């Protein structure tokens, strides 16, 4: 299958590079470091083994790219309007678009723009960053869960899982709504808290007060999900996420890096949208609404 990557950053770039390194046909859309990667290649410094793509197929416009069987979207969700404009040249009648993005409501909004499009959610469990041209640093974890939102071709969806596995990426199918809200259990507390307190994940958990607050925020996300009738998520998952984070190296999540590098923060889909969804069923995410307000102030 032919893959296209929109947003060749820390996440989309990593998974696309893994596929390309395993021999799959992958085209990359780049913006700020297009010329650098075209001339120098794409390097992945990984805890599971470094590798280098000396001549990746890189482009500066989707109009120059081939139509794809699968499009992996790693753009920040603040760029959704851009995505809607640049996506069409890549689409065939049966193209599957996988949104490897953070937040709630992304697939629903994309479907409204492209009613017949096959869409899936990509929930990445990975610690990676890209802070210089052409170099992706992969520090910890690396698996991905795929939630089927509207792909009617089950064989196509399964082939993506198989290709990821062949590329050395642990991948599995999960129920869509459960997957999105489970990701929010980690994302909503840690992304915002590292920004407003100017810290890293490890320090939040070493301090008893912030550790308690993080856990209470996680439970707030789970309560909201349960009110929305999301199945298969309870407080034991919060315990699991706390232990997973304790095992990580000190880490600055994507929103912290965006803030530090003076880039727009993904407040709408990460905070505003899930808070609004919870309000629709009568649940108030009070602690996370306060965190949302602090992030809006800082932005």
CATH number reported for the structural domain that contains residue 265 in this entry: 1.10.1040.10
What are the 10-residue block averages of pLDDT along the chain, 299 residues in total? Answer: 96 97 97 94 95 97 98 96 98 97 97 98 91 93 95 98 97 95 96 98 98 98 98 96 94 94 97 98 98 98
- Please tell me whether residues 14 and 88 are part of one structural domain: yes
Listing DSSP states for 160-186 in one string gives: HHHHHHHTT--EEEE-HHHHHHHHHHH
**pLDDT attached to residue 147:** 96
Question: Domain range spanning residue 199?
Answer: 178-298
Q: Of 174, 202, 218, which residue constitutes the final position of a domain? A: 174
For 23-70, give the DSSP string.
T-EEEEE-STTHHHHHHH-EEEEETT--EEESS-EEES-GGGSPP-SE
pLDDT value of residue 93 = 95
Q: Assess whether 23 and 132 both reside in one domain.
A: yes
Q: Contact 206/270 with Cβ under 8 angstroms?
A: no
Same domain? 155 vs 22: yes
* 142 plus 213 within the same structural domain: no
d(CA 195, CA 291): 10
Same domain, 139 and 271: no
- Asked if 27 and 72 sit in the same domain, the reply is yes
Whether residues 154 and 6 fall in one domain: yes
How far is 115 from 151, CA to CA, in rounded Å? 12
Among the listed residues 121, 132, 102, 127, the one whose alpha carbon sits nearest the alpha carbon of residue 32: 132
Residue 135: both structure tokens together: 């170099």
Backbone angles phi, psi at 172, to 5 degrees: -150, 160
At residue 105, the pLDDT reads: 97
164 and 203: one domain? no
Catalytic position from the list 183, 206, 219, 280:
183
Q: Read off the CATH number of the domain in which 152 is found.
A: 3.40.50.720
Q: Does the CA dihedral 23-1-154-181 come out positive or negative?
A: positive
69, 6: one domain? yes
Q: How many domains does the chain have?
A: 2
| CB-based contact 220:287 (threshold 8 Å) | yes
Strand partners, 136: 44
Reduced to 3 states, what is the DSSP secondary structure of residue 145? strand
User: How high is the pLDDT of residue 32?
Assistant: 87
CB 274 within 8 A of CB 226: no
Which one of 174, 206, 228 terminates a domain?
174
Do 30 and 77 reside in the same domain of the chain? yes
Catalytic residue check, 152: no
What pLDDT shows up at residue 235? 98
Query: Do residues 295 and 196 lie in contact, with contact meaning Cβ atoms separated by under 8 Å?
Result: yes
- pTM: predicted TM-score of the whole model, two decimal places: 0.93
Domain boundary among 157, 174, 191: 174
Residues 163 and 24 in one domain: yes
**Are 134 and 183 found together in one domain?**
no
């Amino acid at each position: 299958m032919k893959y296209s990557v929109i947003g060749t950053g820390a996440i989309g770039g990593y998974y696309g590079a893994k596929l390309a390194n395993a021999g799959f046909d992958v085209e990359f859309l780049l913006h700020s470091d297009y010329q650098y990667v075209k001339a120098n290649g794409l390097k992945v410094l990984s805890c599971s083994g470094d590798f280098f793509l000396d001549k990746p197929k890189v482009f500066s416009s989707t109009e120059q790219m081939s139509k794809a069987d699968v499009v992996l979207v790693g753009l920040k969700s603040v760029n959704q309007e851009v995505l809607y404009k640049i996506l069409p040249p890549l689409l065939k009648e049966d193209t599957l678009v996988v949104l490897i993005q953070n937040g709630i409501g992304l697939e629903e909004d994309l479907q409204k723009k492209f009613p017949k499009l096959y869409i899936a959610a990509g929930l990445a469990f990975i610690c990676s960053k890209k802070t210089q041209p052409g170099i992706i640093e992969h520090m910890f974890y690396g698996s991905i869960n795929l939630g089927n939102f509207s792909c009617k071709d089950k064989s196509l969806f399964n082939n993506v899982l198989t290709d990821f596995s062949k590329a050395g990426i642990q991948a599995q199918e999960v129920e869509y709504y459960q997957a999105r809200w489970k990701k929010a259990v980690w994302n909503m507390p840690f992304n915002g808290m590292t920004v407003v307190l100017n810290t890293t994940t490890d320090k939040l958990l070493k301090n008893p007060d912030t550790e308690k607050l993080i856990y209470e925020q996680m439970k707030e996300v789970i309560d909201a999900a349960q009110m929305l009738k999301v199945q298969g998520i309870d407080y034991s998952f919060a315990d699991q996420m706390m232990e997973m984070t304790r095992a990580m190296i000190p880490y600055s999540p994507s929103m912290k890096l965006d803030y530090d590098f003076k880039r727009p923060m993904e407040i709408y889909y990460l905070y505003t949208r899930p808070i609004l969804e919870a309000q629709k069923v009568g649940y108030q995410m009070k602690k996370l609404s306060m965190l949302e307000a602090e992030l809006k102030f800082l932005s």
